[in-house]
Amino acid sequence: MEAILYICHGSRVKEASAQAIDFIKVCMQAQPYSIQEYCFLELETPTIEEAYERCVQKGATSILAIPVLLLTAVHAKHDIPVILNKMKERYPAVDLKYGRPIGVSEKMVDILVERLEETNVRVTEDSLVLLVGRGSSDPDVKRDLSRLADLLRNRFPKIRVQECYLTAATPSFGEALEFAVDSRSNQVFIIPYLLFTGLLMQSIENSIKKIQKKGKQEIILCRYLGYHPKIEQAISERIHEVSGEGAYVSNYA
């Protein structure tokens, strides 16, 4: 019997964890699997180990582990596989397949466009868009966010799009914000490339409050990605991939 294990990041902000759980419950409703569990890599429970054991106790003979993460970075390539490897050793008779993160796609760019449009502020040639990622020391994160920025530029060919990062990568969000204030742009749109709210979203809001008094530009903060049917579709695609022969090759394999 196959089970799905949805692995979220986790947050110190309870609202963020609640949003993640609500989202996963929606994803579960779209799947035919009788055994489905959610868990968190860190900062929240149930842990990966706890949820994995629940799957086994419910009779799972095969587990499809799906990282509910936006981009491929250290968490997806190392941290989660290390834990899954331990669980595989603990339950060798249970087959384990590990899926891919959500990744880069036109679907995700569709959501970015929606986040811009729902501000009801017209994006013009004088606008600057800051695409703000979480950040990581893993170069794949910069590659992927850069690809997303390129796809967004294709939708708005005459508008400047600058990717930046909240942690562990450059340019930092603070640097990009300073550049935006010193630029000739009349408007600065900020799109947080984050699944849910949390400390990083709060950090973005606080930075904007501090710098708004410096510049003359209109700074428009878009919503973070949040629940969206197209993200649910992406998760469903990852489940379909890993349930067949398209399992994501990771460090645990």
Helices 229-243, 106-117: crossing angle, 10 deg rounding: 170
pLDDT for position 249: 42
C-beta of residue 87 within 8 angstroms of C-beta of residue 52: yes
Which residue matches tokens 């086994």? 56
- Could you report the per-residue pLDDT of 104-127, keeping only the tens digit for each? 999 999 999 999 999 999 999 999
C-beta of residue 221 within 8 angstroms of C-beta of residue 208: yes
- Could you report the per-residue pLDDT of 59-91, keeping only the tens digit for each? 999 999 999 999 988 999 999 999 999 999 999
Tell me the DSSP string of 204-244. HHHHHHHHTTT-SSEEEEPPP--S-HHHHHHHHHHHHHHHT
Mean pLDDT of the chain: 92
Name the pLDDT band for 28 (thresholds 50, 70, 90).
very high
Looking at per-residue pLDDT, the higher value among 183 and 151 belongs to: 151
Using a cut of 0.75, tell me whether the model's pTM lies above it.
Answer: yes
